[in-house]
Chains A and B, each alone.
Chain A
Amino acid sequence: MKKNLFFIPIIFCLITQVAQAQNDCRRQPAFIQKFGFDPARSAVSTAERTYMGVCLIELADAQNQNGKRNKIFQHPSWRKAGYMASVAITEQGDVYVIPAPTVNILYNKPDEQNWVYKIDHQTGEMNRFVELPAAAKPSVQNAYGTLGSFYDCDTHTLFVTSVMGSTQNDEKGRIFAVNLLTNKVTIVAQNTDAMGVCIVKTNGKRQLFFGKTRTSDMYSLTLDANNLPLSEPTFAFTLDNLGPRGDDRARRIRFTNNNLQINAASFYYNLTAPTEKPETIYVFSYDTNQQKWRLVRYE
């Protein structure tokens, strides 16, 4: 199981001829030093074994995410939302985290799974930031709400995917754009269950890539400057039948070195333990001649 880590020291700064990643502005939260951690070796993690919620970790070896932790810190407020999933950090160093149940719903009440939480970059205090409007109430068929997030520096917007209210026969998920300057929430896509999400700027166009959760397909749609969709979601490529399992869903998508890097694992809307979900990283590049995405490698 790959750890769900977000390393503050790593900055994606990838300006290329074709495309540009949109998450290249992250700044270290001030609370790292305040809590006595070495910024060069520290990370915000939501996947520390025996810890629920958000952790600040300091690694013995900054290059080895799965290696020894020198120390782990949890602010008292970092446990209050139960188990957490994706982490996004802004140019101010504010940390936005979203909840997702792990193994059971004892600490993650289903009707509270569409809240986005903010950890203040100065104080380290975590508080509810905004509740995303779900299309339907959760049921015993689906304990999940938010699943993935991505911060777009250009528009100061946090993109969040949610499957709240979806059932076996009803796809009710949404993709949201939350403007962090105005707190305004825009629904970018409806009736769409997705997990990983990423913005890629291509030849001046802003494209939102997302990975579906009912299939292994990747879709994209074009957004305007206000994050309103200019097109319907269109199929981009698929992870179907790739990798060691063949049915992975994109959990995290990032654009680096002109490639889409996709962390993917199985997902069947149940609560199987993360230890059961080995993750594979797929790298795709865009073939401009064929005008389609091609698998470069997976590991």
Chain B
Amino acid sequence: MKTNFLILALLQLLLIACKPEQAAIASNNNEPAYLKARKQAIADALAAPQPVILLPLNPNETTKANVQKIALADKKVQQSFRDPKTNAPLLNEVFGIFALRPSDLPPNTTICTDGNCYRIELYNYALNMATIAIVNATSNSVLTVNYYPQQQPDLPPHLAQLALSIAADSPEVQEAYGSKPDTTLGLMPATKTALNRSRCERSQHLCVAPTFVKNDKALWAIVDLTALKLVGVRWTNVGTTGERTSERKMQNEKIMSCFCDKETQLTRDGWQMQYSLTRSDGLRVSQIRYHNTPIINNVKMVDWHVSYSTTDGFGYSDAIGCPEFSEAAVVAIDAPKVMPLLDNTDTVGFAIEQTYSSEGWPTPCNYNYLQRFEFYKNGNFRPIIASLGRGCGNNGTYRPVTRIAWAGTNNSFFEWNNAKWQNWQQEKWTQQTELTTLTPENYWAKIANANNQGFYLMANNGQLDQYSRGDQAFLYVTKHHPNKDEGDGDLPTIGPCCNTDYQQGPEKFIDPTPEPILDTELVTWYVAQLKNDDTPGKEYCWAESVVENGIYVAKTYPCYSGPMFVPIQ
């Protein structure tokens, strides 16, 4: 078994291209005509009284045209055409109209005895649901209507061609294939087999997988026909019939093969570092240097503690990390992204982002988290932890635990107090409150060596970005022990969900006997406290499903946390 898995892992490495994602700026300038036409058809349907893209029919198919008209006029068929709360139109499309065969009906059925019945199949893009109606073309009546959630009818030929075109035109497919594939070589993009063998489990969108064969391998391209984009590509061996891929499988394979416990080197804007996805501590950025000076050994996110105030002791203590074989409760669903930091049009640095999501987000009791590490050309850096909702209630408090292991063996820690820097003698914690005094620059603390080289910790009172309202953070300082694992490796859950005081986990490395921390290796732990809010107009750490262009999308109200570290000049 072990050998098989090693071979499988090696094969996957060969078949999956490992590249960190670079954030791209969307551009519609070079959008192909077929995409423009498709988007126009969607817009037209949504503006119509019935938000349905009709099945294109030949002029001589008058009976089918009549069936389509009768079905769409039926109240029960129309039941899923609009959002029940807002009445916003939900995008539907007629996928097929077929003369009913006796085998389509249950034995001894009494309906449709005249033999002039049709089966009309609709797909609801918003609800990922098939609606199938049986229409009697003689009596011009709808006989039955059935709904099939999470099922999709067979694709009509024009959608199959659309999927094939999206796949063939995508840079990922062309790069993997070596050239733009001839779309006439696409294998059965519209067949039941191809449709069944590709799902978008996470997005709950309509997905198909055009397949392009090259030598003894087949390139699978999963195309999302709801969002009109390529989800990903994957090579499979032609011989392995039955090998199936899907959105989740493809995403997980890439993350596990390329980023889980695998370091990616990054040099940019004067910074050097490496990053990898851990099994329970989120994205860990390590060996961080600024102009060749070691700054941080590693920084990572240990736990999310989420408590709900109306129910004592109710909440969750979540870890984030790799999607498989991990202790993560909320898992990475895409690759880390590296993106420029812009101040107007000037690039002032870069950021590394990693998102984590529950499968059902943004429905209640599902979570979405963001890690974002910002590195500025001027030497500032900021580890941001954010919640994008939605959680189990509107009375939740999020407490993310961040651990920073500083480079250097002779650091000391200072807190601004009574208008001067007070040197902490031993391990301890403090809390950012209304009484906390800060320097005029909002510096709360500093970590510095004997030569006063190091960083100020600028408190987050909501001034650091548009998504912050202040952290009210707990801050802990502990001594780093090179020969004792107090968090250098993956940490298990270190604290329960619902403590409201300093007992968030890091205190375990202080109590019961605090150690001296003068001129030594230091670890700082930062626990922000973020109270969510669903009040209209004041949403925070929140997310809603809203209808946009006929489908449900997540509207997020993020809450960002994290201090800014500023080099001591």
Contact = CB atoms under 8 A, between A and B. Distances in A.
A91 to B, nearest CB: 37
Interface string B355-369: 000111000011000
Contact of B359 (A106, A246, A276): A276
Contact of B327 (A168, A240, A271, A273): A271
Candidate in A104, A105, A143, A169 with the most chain B CB atoms within 10 angstroms: A104
B150 A240 contact: no
Contacts of B196: 241, 246
Given A104-B319, A268-B252, 7 more contacts: A142-B325, A169-B5, A241-B244, A244-B149, A246-B201, A271-B328, A272-B330
A225 interface: no
Interface stretch (B160-168, B208-216, B309-317): B309-317
22 contacts: A103-B318, A104-B493, A105-B493, A168-B324, A168-B325, A169-B9, A170-B2, A241-B196, A241-B197, A246-B199, A246-B201, A246-B244, A247-B248, A247-B249, A268-B325, A269-B325, A270-B326, A271-B326, A272-B330, A273-B365, A276-B359, A276-B360
A276 B327 CA distance: 15
Given A268-B323, A272-B358, A171 B329 contact: no
Contacts of B6: 169
Interface size classification for chain A: 20 to 34
Contacts of B393: none
A270 B327 contact: yes
A63 interface: no
Nearest to A240: B244
A50 interface: yes
A246 B246 contact: yes
Candidate in A105, A247, A270 with the most chain B CB atoms within 10 angstroms: A270
Given A170-B5, A240-B244, A106 B317 contact: yes
**7 residue pairs, one from A and one from B, having the closest CB atoms:** A104-B493, A244-B150, A168-B325, A141-B325, A171-B1, A268-B324, A140-B490
B329 A272 contact: yes
B331 interface: yes
Interface majority SS (helix, strand, loop, mixed), chain B: loop
Contacts of B151: 244
B280 to A, nearest CB: 6
Interface majority SS (helix, strand, loop, mixed), chain A: loop
A139 to B, nearest CB: 8
Contacts of A104: 316-319, 327, 329, 492-493
B150 A191 contact: no
Interface of A: 50, 103-106, 110, 140-143, 167-171, 191, 240-241, 244-247, 266, 268-273, 275-276
B358 A276 contact: yes
A171 B2 contact: yes
B326 A140 contact: yes
Candidate in A142, A171, A272 with the most chain B CB atoms within 10 angstroms: A272
A104 B493 CA distance: 6
Nearest to B279: A140
Given A103-B318, A268-B252, A273-B316, A245 B199 contact: yes
Interface in B194-247: 196-197, 199, 201, 244, 246
A281 to B, nearest CB: 15
